[in-house]
Homo-oligomer: A and B are copies of this chain.
């Protein structure tokens, strides 16, 4: 089916609905070592108290605060407790040498830091006695069990995108694996008989295929696993074969090329008879867009010009992939223009530009084949369809690339 002109917003909604199943894939369990930047699918409650036992916050001496009513006080040293040692009870009127993290023994209620003591025998065996210079209040430098987290407390909420500090917390409570969002599996098919893979010689009329590598990188950068990257000539039979493979291994397929008004539009010609929708979206670049579903797998068909393909990905695919991976939405900011610009009425324009402290400057020359200009851009200016001119200083919506 081929239908008429669509607004960007209409096509965004259409694509979002089509790709919604990506958000609903079954979660995956991954080991903590592979969890960086993954998104938790469930609230994680702590399976234990943290710290799991009462322990010393300092290197020093475990004491009864009541034994230090007058200082300096000499206390016989009962022994040494290193971190990892098992706990012994503190005898009344004694001190136990204790290292940071070691269990505070029954009977002790405070730790005197080593700086506030003088040992009367060498530190290394800990026997003998210690002179404590200052009195302490009960609880001093004692970390009670569960003061960081209590067993059953919410440690991390579902939806957390895991950074190192979250992995620290998960490891600290002894978790080895966690449920995370499954990454969407993406297949990419770039079409065009003029395309040659880098590494070969260009023949007459040929250009290098940049959409395959660029769409693959775009998908990877937005939380997807790229499972296949194919290049197809303008040959419907070859395209059908690649498409059948793609829908067998991927959750979503992105194609480039073959959707315009030429005589050899392999994507449109193949998918339109299979229920694909090919529309002209009121945007520039990226007007010719298509969608289809083959064997239950959604397919987005982007135009073949490199800039059109990447802008299409940015506008339609990236939000859905990020939602599927559980990543925060693409951020748009309103920033001042450094110079005036004019825009075609009736088309939402996505202009390449540069950001500096003065604001955002669009590049001159909007050709959708200008990959060098796209590479030099750090923002995409998003000019509404009904805007025809803007002055320097006007605010424009900007997507940070």
Cβ A169 vs Cβ B371 within 8 A: yes
Looking at A49-57, A242-250, A388-396, the stretch in contact with chain B turns out to be A49-57
Q: How does the 8 Å CB contact mask read for A337-380 relative to B, with 1 for contact and 0 for none?
A: 00000000000000000000000000000010111111101000
Cβ B369 vs Cβ A57 within 8 A: yes
A11 to chain B, nearest CB (A): 21
Copies of this protein in the assembly total 2
Q: Which residues of B contact A220 (CB under 8 A)?
A: 36
Q: How does the 8 Å CB contact mask read for A27-60 relative to B, with 1 for contact and 0 for none?
A: 0000011011100000000101011110101010
Cβ B369 vs Cβ A51 within 8 A: yes
A209 to chain B, nearest CB (A): 7
Q: Which residues of B contact A206 (CB under 8 A)?
A: 52, 84
Cβ-based interface call for A174 (8 A): yes
A85 to chain B, nearest CB (A): 6
Cβ A99 vs Cβ B169 within 8 A: no
Cβ-based interface call for A123 (8 A): yes
Q: In the complex, which residues 199-230 of chain A have their Cβ closer than 8 Å to any Cβ of chain B?
A: 199, 202-218, 220-221
Q: Which residues of B contact A261 (CB under 8 A)?
A: 59, 114-115
Cβ-based interface call for A124 (8 A): yes
Cβ B166 vs Cβ A375 within 8 A: yes
A313's nearest neighbour on chain B, judged by CB, is B164
- Asked if A53 meets B143 with Cβ closer than 8 Å, knowing A262-B100, A263-B97, A375-B169, the reply is no
Q: Which residues of B contact A176 (CB under 8 A)?
A: 198-199
Q: Which residues of B contact A207 (CB under 8 A)?
A: 51-52, 101, 172
Looking at A65-73, A130-138, A149-157, A290-298, the stretch in contact with chain B turns out to be A149-157
Q: Which residues of B contact A55 (CB under 8 A)?
A: 205
Interface size bracket, A side: 35 or more
Cβ-based interface call for A193 (8 A): yes
- Asked if A126 meets B263 with Cβ closer than 8 Å, knowing A171-B208, A209-B171, the reply is yes
Main secondary structure of the interface of A (DSSP, over half): loop
Cβ B193 vs Cβ A304 within 8 A: no
Cβ A213 vs Cβ B372 within 8 A: no
Q: How does the 8 Å CB contact mask read for A141-174 relative to B, with 1 for contact and 0 for none?
A: 0010001110001011000001111111111111
Measured in the bound complex, the distance between the Cα atoms of B262 and A115 in whole Å is 11
A211 to chain B, nearest CB (A): 7
A191's nearest neighbour on chain B, judged by CB, is B83
Cβ B143 vs Cβ A369 within 8 A: yes
Cβ-based interface call for A401 (8 A): yes
A144 to chain B, nearest CB (A): 11
A164 to chain B, nearest CB (A): 4
A287 to chain B, nearest CB (A): 12
A sample of 7 cross-chain residue pairs with beta-carbon separation below 8 angstroms, ordered by A number, consists of A50-B372, A59-B260, A99-B263, A148-B367, A148-B373, A165-B371, A174-B202
A interface with B by C-beta (< 8 Å):
32-33, 35-37, 46, 48, 50-53, 55, 57, 59, 80, 82-87, 97, 99-103, 114-115, 123-124, 126, 143, 147-149, 153, 155-156, 162-176, 192-196, 198-199, 202-218, 220-221, 233-234, 260-264, 304-306, 310, 313, 367, 369-375, 377, 401
Q: A35-B217, A83-B262 are in contact. List 8 more A-B contacts (CB 8 A).
A: A80-B263, A86-B204, A102-B205, A164-B313, A167-B217, A168-B310, A169-B375, A170-B213
